[in-house]
Amino acid sequence: MTIEPATHKKDGRSIVFSLPNILTYGRILAVPAIVGTAFVEGDFGRWLGLGIFIVASITDFFDGYLARAWHQQSALGRMLDPIADKLLISACLIILCANQVVSGISLWAAAIILMREISVSGLREFLAELQVSVPVTKLAKWKTTFQMVSLGFLLAAPAGDKVLPFNTEIGIGLLWVAALLTLYTGYDYFRAGLRHLIDSDR
């Protein structure tokens, strides 16, 4: 069964308000909503934050899938999609560090992820000026998956520990796996971009 788009128009308005882009806007709007749940006391706030996060994470799959299936890929979508992902991940990490779910040596895992995401964004912006595209690798997609899954476990903690024993420990372990993948994929991106960085100075 093939999903057909409601419209095939190529005008600017249809692109801005295409369903894939609307899903991306929703993921961006989910960020302040998740931050707001950090101020809700008790387990309800944690489950609410997790629920919003799960819905936002699902849109990350469907916006790309629908854009490709409906041939509604656009420069706007390509720009906003990674921004939405980074905002969501960064906001969740900051919340988890602030409420000390992520603490001690695990703060390094959070710092590694944040530093890599900011650094790669800067590299991509620079390479874009040189009209050089660095494609997303399969390992980078796995990195994002581990980040999202680990954050899901940790957003529920400690409420999640009452349902799933060692929920927080599982989340911390997955966060470290994500951090290691983050380091490796970050190295891959900078290695790929280094030649262009050197050539631009000649």
Are 21 and 75 in contact, with CB atoms under 8 Å apart?
Answer: no
Helices (H), the chain: 12-16, 19-37, 43-69, 75-98, 106-129, 138-156, 167-200
Give the pLDDT confidence score for residue 59 in this predicted structure. Answer: 87
- Contact between 54 and 30 under an 8 Å Cβ cutoff? The reply is no
pLDDT over 70 percentage in the chain = 85
Instruction: Give me the pLDDT at residue 6, please.
Output: 44
Residue 102 above 90 pLDDT?
yes
Query: Does 199 or 71 have the greater pLDDT score?
Result: 71
Determine the pLDDT at residue 198.
Answer: 66
Residues 6 and 15: their CA atoms lie apart, in Å, by 12
**Average pLDDT over the chain, rounded to an integer:** 84
Average pLDDT over residues 78-86: 84
Q: Kindly report which listed range (74-78, 109-113, 158-162) carries the lowest average pLDDT score.
A: 74-78
How many angstroms separate the CA atoms of 145 and 162, rounded?
25
196: pLDDT strictly greater than 70: no
> Rounded to an integer, what distance in angstroms lies between the CA atom of residue 21 and that of residue 155?
26
pLDDT tens column, 10-23: 555 677 778 888 88
Question: What is the pTM for the complete model shown?
Answer: 0.83
The predicted structure's pLDDT at residue 2: 44
